[in-house]
Amino acid sequence: MVKHTKLLDCTLRDGAYLLDKRFGDDIIKGIIRGLVKAKVDYIEIGFFQDDGFGEGKTVFKDSKDAGRFVPDNKNGCEFTVLADYSRFSVNNLDKCDGSSIDVVRECFFKHERFDALDACRVIKEKGYKLFVQPVDILGYTDLELIEFIRLVNEIEPYCFSIVDTFGSMYQEDLHRVFELINHNLSQSCAIGFHSHNNMQLSSALSQEFIRMTAGKRRVVIDGTINGMGRGAGNTPTELVTQYMVSKWGYSYDIDALLDIIDSYMDNIKSRCSWGYTTSNFIAGCYSAHVNNIAFLLKKNSIRSKDIRYILNRIGASARKRYDYELLEKSYMELLDSDINDENTLEKLKTFIGSRTVLVLAPGYSVNSEIETIKNYITKKKPVVIAVNFIHDSLSLDYIYMSNVKRYQYWKNDTRFSGIKKIFTSNLMSNGDNKDSEIVSFTKLIKCGWEHLDNSTIMLLRLLDILHVQDIGIAGFDGYHYANDGRINYASKALELSSTAVNPAELNTEIESILEDFKATRVHKEGKIEFVTPSRFSACFR
C-alpha cells in the first residue's frame, strides 16, 4: 500500500498557548524523546519570535537557540518551528546547516498574506523546508484562494496547509477546499491539514483527509498529544496515528505515544485544561476566536444562547479576533432590558424602612456558622435577603436573583413560589413575576471589572439606593479551587467546575470592587459588618 501521508506533532507549539509557552525543559525533552521513539515524521518544538524567550519555554530566537532541544540522533524525524509573521522577522533567522531544525512553518492572517510571501522566500533561501500556513482557510473566498495559490506556486514550498483555525469545518467543507487547492497547487507541493475540535469532528476529519487524498497528493496531518490545544484542542496524535497504523499499514510506535501521555499529560492537565465544551462548539459554529468565549464565560448571567447571540451580533470579522470592549458593549446591550423601577424602589424602601438587612450569600459558612447567623437574626431582627439561593433552615424575607443560571435551578424548588423575590430586569423574560419586585439590572452594575455582575455586590448597591444604613453579610466567604478539598458553596449543586474561574484572580477582583463600593457608597454613615468569616472583611474595617 502506497503511504502518502506524513504525521506532524505540534504539542509543544499549539499546546504551549495553555502554559504561557512554558512547559519546562524536562517535559520538553521528554516529549521530544517520546515522539522520536514513535518515529513521528515531523516534530514541531515551538515558535520563532523576536521576544518572549525564557527558561523552559518553547520560544526561540533562531535555529541555533532551538537546536538545544534537537537530539543528535533524530531517528528519521524532522524538526519544525512555527514562525508567526507578525511576531518574527525572518531577518533574524540563521541559515540551515543541518545541525538543528529542518522545517519552518510560516503562518499569517489573510490581510498579511502578500507581505508574508516575502518572508516565505527568505525561509526557503536560507535552506529550510517551507510550509505555508494561512490562518483560517475558510475565511478566503474561492477566488482569493486561487489567486493566492498562484503566487505560492512561484515560491515552490514543500507544503501548503489547510488550517481550520476555528474548528468550523464539516466534511463537505474539507472536500471543497481540498479540491480547490489540489486543482490549482503545484503537484510538487504537499497539502497539510491542521484541525481544531470545536465540533467534535477533528479526528474524523483527519481520517477523512487521509482517505480522500489517497492517490491524489502527498499530505501532512497535524496532531497534538491528547489533543492538547487552546479551547477545544486539536486532533489527538495518538488517535490519528492508530488509524494510520491499523488501516494504512504505517509503522509508528503507539506505545511510545502512550508513554508520553502516562509520563507527562497528567502533570500538564493539573496546570491547564482543554477539550470539547458547549461554548467551544458555539465558537466553532461562528468561526470565533476562543478568547471571545473565555471573556464571555466570566459573566455570571451569561447563557449559551446569549454567547451565540453576541457572536452573531458582532459580525464575522470581529469575532475572528477578540475586541473585549466590543464584547462588553454587546453584553451590556443584551442585558439592557432597563425599566423604570421607581415605584418598586419606593415599595422596597417602605418595607425595609430603617431596619437592618442581613445579606445571605451562598458561601459554605452559612452552614458551618449557622448558630452565629441565628443569633444575629435573633438580636438584630433584620430583613433577611438571600442571594440566588434558598437556605434549608433559615427563613427569608426575600430571595434576590440576578443570575440567570441560578434562577433556572431554583425555580423548580417547591419552596421558591412561597418566597417574595427581588429580580433584576435581565430576568424579566423568564416569566415568574408573581410576588416579585423587578429592579433595573443596569442601575446596579458598574463597568471596569470582568465580573461586573457579581450578585452579592449588586445587592449591596441596591441596598445603598434604598438608603439602608446597617448591613450584615453572611456567606460571602471568598473562593478557592473546588478540587483542593474545600467547599465554596452552601450546596454542592451550586459548585462551579474547577476550571470555571481562577479563585485567586476572582478574589482579588471582588476586593477591588468592594473597595470601590465602600469609597462611592452614598450612605457612608451606616455600618457594614461580616457576620461570618470572610476573606473580604478587611474591605470594611
Q: Is the dihedral of CA 138, 179, 209, 28 positive or negative?
A: negative
Q: State the helix-helix crossing angle for 455-465 and 503-520, rounded to 10 degrees.
A: 10
What DSSP line would sit under 492-524, residue for residue? Answer: GGGPPPTTT--HHHHHHHHHHHHHHHHHH-S-T
**Interval 19-45 mean pLDDT:** 97
- Number of Cβ within 10 Å of residue 363's Cβ equals 27
List % helix, strand, coil for the chain (3-state, nearest 5).
Answer: 45, 15, 40
What DSSP line would sit under 201-224, residue for residue? Answer: -HHHHHHHHHHHHTTT--EEEEEB
Amino acid identity for residue 99 in this structure: S
pLDDT score recorded for residue 432: 55
Average model confidence (pLDDT) across the chain:
91
The residue whose grid cell reads 506505545 is 255
Give the whole-angstrom CA distance, residue 181 versus residue 190: 11
pLDDT at 291 over 90: no
- CA distances 221 to 16, 96, 417, Å, are 19, 24, 57
Amino acid identity for residue 283 in this structure: A
pLDDT at 1 over 60: no
pLDDT at 470 over 80: yes
129-143 pLDDT, tens digit per residue, is 999 999 999 999 999
Q: Which of 63-77, 120-134, 340-354, 433-447 shows the lowest mean pLDDT across its residues?
A: 433-447
**Interval 384-390 mean pLDDT:** 93
Asked if 96 and 102 count as a contact pair (C-beta separation under 8 A), the reply is yes
Give the whole-angstrom CA distance, residue 5 versus residue 223: 13
Give the whole-angstrom CA distance, residue 232 versus residue 211: 24
- Report field, pTM of the whole predicted structure over 0.85: no
512-536 pLDDT, tens digit per residue, is 999 999 999 887 778 899 999 999 9
Asked if 16 and 47 count as a contact pair (C-beta separation under 8 A), the reply is yes
